[in-house]
């Protein structure tokens, strides 16, 4: 008997063909992918997950890190009977997507990684830990601004929505536990990039020059089979700051996969 999916998710688009799977970053949720899902929906199925301890997946029993999240997503893909996927991961979700691709290379047709975690030791651990502790909309708004490029106007309404979610029982504690699970002291653990770069699939790595969470230099000197796209005057949230361009790059990867 097939098990039921454990993670909250939203699936839109046609049922046939490989699915694009969206994996959000630390302290995010599946709603951050809404515009991209709509952009694909006429011809391509997409699924956005809330990773453990985030969004509607607060009841997942384990503290989230990239390994836990990768196992949870793989289990849910099995439960949903989805065999072939194009993975799109942001920040922590990029590390999750990378782990899935290395663990199940026959399932993954392409990788699109937006400012992915695990590509170098540096991480703005102070910002992430402070952000995980913020409860009121004003404090969240001040810290949230640092996730975007300097010219991007972060709407106060977004901070207010986040504050409402964090008021839910267990939400703030889950976020703080996740912060400690993904940060190793003052650095982050590094993925086996040579192994990742050897996968016989299209891989795009996308970064912004104004990323204040994970430095752009993590995109330098990557394995040669990884295509690197750096956006000027963009912060840590390229899928929100440059949504149309990111959608075009995802489509390119899908086409390159054949």
- Lookup: tokens for 16: 């046939």
C-beta separation of 38 from 108 below 8 A = no
- Lookup: tokens for 98: 């990378």
| Mean per-residue pLDDT over the chain, rounded | 96
Helix (H, G, I), strand (E, B) or coil at 90: strand
Q: Could you tell me the CATH superfamily of domain 9-124+189-257?
A: Alpha/Beta hydrolase fold, catalytic domain (3.40.50.1820)
Percentage of the chain modeled with pLDDT above 70: 99
C-alpha pair distances (Å), 19 with each of 12, 61, 234: 10, 26, 28
CB contact set of 252 (below 8 Å; sequence gap of 6+): 202, 204
pLDDT tens per residue, range 110-146: 999 999 999 999 999 999 999 999 999 999 999 999 9
Helix (H, G, I), strand (E, B) or coil at 249: helix
Average pLDDT over residues 95-124: 98
Strands 226-231 and 108-114 come out as unpaired
H-state helical runs in the chain: 34-40, 66-79, 92-103, 125-133, 137-144, 156-166, 171-182, 193-197, 238-241, 243-257
- Lookup: tokens for 228: 């690197």
Which band of pLDDT confidence, cut at 50, 70 and 90, is reported for residue 85?
very high
C-alpha pair distances (Å), 85 with each of 30, 144, 151, 179, 194: 17, 31, 34, 28, 22
Class of residue 34 by CB neighbours under 10 A (exposed 0-12, middle 13-18, buried 19+): middle
- Lookup: tokens for 65: 């890190």
Which band of pLDDT confidence, cut at 50, 70 and 90, is reported for residue 2?
low
**Domain parsing of the chain, residue ranges:** 9-124+189-257
pLDDT tens per residue, range 165-214: 999 999 999 999 999 999 999 999 999 999 999 999 999 999 999 999 99
C-alpha pair distances (Å), 117 with each of 152, 154, 183: 22, 23, 10
Strands 85-90 and 203-208 come out as unpaired
Q: Is the pTM of this model over 0.95?
A: yes
- Is residue 258 predicted with pLDDT exceeding 90? no
């Amino acid at each position: 008997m097939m098990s039921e999916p454990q993670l909250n998710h939203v699936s839109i688009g046609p049922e046939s063909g490989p699915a694009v799977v969206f994996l959000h970053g630390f302290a995010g949720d599946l709603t951050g992918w809404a515009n991209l899902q709509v952009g694909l929906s006429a011809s391509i199925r997409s699924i956005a997950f809330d990773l453990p301890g985030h969004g509607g997946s607060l009841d997942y029993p384990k503290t989230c890190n990239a390994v836990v999240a990768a196992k949870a997503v793989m289990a849910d893909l099995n439960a949903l009977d989805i065999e072939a996927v194009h993975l799109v991961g942001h920040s922590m979700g990029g590390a999750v997507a990378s782990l899935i691709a290395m663990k199940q290379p026959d399932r993954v047709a392409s990788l699109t990684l937006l400012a992915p975690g695990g590509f170098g030791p540096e991480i703005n651990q102070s910002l992430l830990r402070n952000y995980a502790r913020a409860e009121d909309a004003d404090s969240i708004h001040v810290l949230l601004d640092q996730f975007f490029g300097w010219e991007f106007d972060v709407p106060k309404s977004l901070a207010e929505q986040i504050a409402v979610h964090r008021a839910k029982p267990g939400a703030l504690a889950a976020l703080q536990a996740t912060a400690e699970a993904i940060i190793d002291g003052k650095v982050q653990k590094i993925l086996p990039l040579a192994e990742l770069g050897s996968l016989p699939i299209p891989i795009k790595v996308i970064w912004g020059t104004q990323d204040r969470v994970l430095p752009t230099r993590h995109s330098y000197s990557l394995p040669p089979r990884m295509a690197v796209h750096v956006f000027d005057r963009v912060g840590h949230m390229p899928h929100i700051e440059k949504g149309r361009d990111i959608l075009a790059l995802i489509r390119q990867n899908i086409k390159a996969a054949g």
